[in-house]
């Protein structure tokens, strides 16, 4: 989708989350009998019978710790599904989870929210992402589910 890459939760972070999540809790893995949970480790839906864990994740807090930024009140944590055990990561470069209502939340290089966009038509996803990065102050975008507001993945500004 025009040079945009979805960034799954990095493997080192996943190891930490499997031991203790960002709320300090020890995850309680379960078997997903039905499948369909949006996995943030490999950016696909879970398959029936896979072991998953629902963990608390603070994507902006972790990004800020790496960059030295201070997101202030924009720091938040929320629930995400991951494989209970290590996985191979994303199977494709395609942007996942674009076939439903989504919110694109735009962030500056210092971790401040610059705006957001509700996408009601899945066909408008590519346009909304391009529009976000047309603003030179937007450094990255968080793609979020509308139903629960949870973080799905990050898209960084494409580098030429």
What's the pLDDT tens digit per position in 109-140? 988 999 999 999 988 998 999 999 999 999 99
pLDDT < 70 stretches in the chain:
1-2, 160
At residue 2, the pLDDT reads 62
- pLDDT digits over 58-71, tens only? 999 998 888 888 88
Write down the domain spans for the chain: 6-83, 102-156
For residue 74, what pLDDT is reported?
85
Q: What is the 3-state secondary structure (H, E, C) of the chain?
A: CCCCCEECCCHHHHHHHHHCCCCCCCCCCEEECCCCCEECCCCEECCCCEEEEEEEECHHHHHHHHHCCCCHHHCCCEEEEEECCCCCCCCCCCCCCCCCCEEEEEECCCCCEEEEEEECCHHHHHHHHHHHHHCCCCCEEEEEECCCCCEEEEEECCCC
pLDDT at residue number 71:
84
């Amino acid at each position: 989708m025009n040079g945009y890459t979805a960034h799954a939760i990095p493997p080192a972070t996943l190891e930490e989350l499997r031991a203790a999540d960002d709320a300090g809790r020890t995850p309680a893995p379960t078997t997903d009998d039905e499948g369909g949970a949006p996995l943030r480790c490999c950016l696909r839906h879970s398959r029936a019978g896979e072991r998953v864990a629902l963990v608390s994740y603070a994507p902006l807090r972790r990004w800020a710790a790496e960059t030295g930024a201070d997101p202030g009140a924009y720091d938040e944590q929320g629930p995400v599904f991951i494989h209970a055990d290590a996985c191979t990561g994303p199977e494709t470069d395609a942007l996942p989870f674009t076939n439903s209502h989504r919110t694109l939340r735009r962030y500056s290089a210092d971790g401040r929210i610059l705006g957001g966009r509700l996408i009601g038509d899945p066909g408008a996803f590519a346009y909304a992402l391009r529009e976000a990065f047309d603003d030179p102050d937007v450094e990255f975008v968080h793609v979020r589910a509308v139903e629960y507001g949870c973080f799905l993945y990050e898209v960084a500004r494409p580098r030429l």
